[in-house]
Amino acid sequence: MKAAILLIFGLSSLINAEMVFKTKLVEITAKPDVTEITVEFPFEIMGSAAEIIEYEAPCTCLTARVEPLNPDRSTKLRWDIGENGRIFGRFKMGNFKGTVDKAIVLKMKGVDKPIQLVVRVTIPILFEIQPSTLKWEIGETPTEKTFKIKVNHDQPIKLIENSGTSGNFPYEVKTIREGWEYEIKVKPSSTEKPGMGMIRLKTDCAIKRHERHQVFVVVKKERK
């Protein structure tokens, strides 16, 4: 009977093993000139020992590490009850804009469902273009459509260069308010067959990652 009780207690402890996080979602609004950020997810081991068998961030823009390390500087994967640690994530902004969710995934020994730690970063859009793509259907009347540009910054950002990649999409750049508001008007020469093009834009923004932009123009078949 005693052995059975000990076995049941042991199994219960294993089932209840848990890496308890203070939060599984970290939200950050990045400054315009920041190129990467670091976040942390503190945890405590409750129930019984827990072991990480795999940890990864599926997107190359996010890397993960577990701390503290073992005395030999190797990654500590097995954690005893009552121990505390942190999962760190480093997110590289790249060309992301707006609000982006990226996850660190932990696979634990004896646990079927992985733990997901979400990094939610809001990246300022200083040179906002709406929409990002202008579309026409094949056979549609080639009417003029417009990209609208708005500067969301505490100082003006001037559009200083532009170039298109397709002669089928002639365009005109209009300055509504220098450094603050622009329009790009596009009217395809033909919509008889599918095609696409790009308009590249360069600004005088001092923050390098906000200096260049691109928009797309497309003629395609309507989806049914």
Question: Given CA atoms 83, 109, 74, 102 in this order, what sign does their dihedral have?
Answer: negative
139 and 212, same structural domain? yes
Euclidean distance between CA atoms 24 and 134, whole angstroms: 38
Q: Is residue 60 part of a domain?
A: yes
Q: Is residue 82 part of a domain?
A: yes
Q: Is residue 1 part of a domain?
A: no
Q: Is residue 114 part of a domain?
A: yes
CATH number of the domain that residue 191 is part of: 2.60.40.10
pLDDT at 5: 29
The whole domain housing 213 covers: 127-220
Domain boundary among 123, 144, 170: 123
27 and 93, same structural domain? yes
> Tokens 């945890």 belong to which residue?
43
Q: Mean pLDDT per 10-residue run, the chain (224 residues)?
A: 33 54 96 94 92 92 95 94 96 92 95 94 96 96 97 97 97 98 98 96 95 97 73
96 and 148, same structural domain? no
Domain boundary among 97, 123, 149: 123
148 and 99, same structural domain? no
> Tokens 């360069």 belong to which residue?
202
104 and 170, same structural domain? no
Judge if pTM exceeds 0.85: no
Looking at the structure of the chain, the number of domains it has is 2
Q: Is residue 97 part of a domain?
A: yes
105 and 42, same structural domain? yes
pLDDT at 2: 34
Q: Is residue 10 part of a domain?
A: no
83 and 44, same structural domain? yes
pLDDT at 224: 63
132 and 119, same structural domain? no
Q: Is residue 141 part of a domain?
A: yes
Q: Is residue 6 part of a domain?
A: no
117 and 28, same structural domain? yes
Euclidean distance between CA atoms 125 and 157, whole angstroms: 12
90 and 152, same structural domain? no
164 and 108, same structural domain? no
User: At 13, which helix (H) or strand (E)?
Assistant: helix 2-16
Calculate the alpha carbon distances from 69 to 28, 65, 78, 87 in Å.
26, 9, 11, 11
Domain boundary among 123, 153, 180: 123
pLDDT at 7: 30
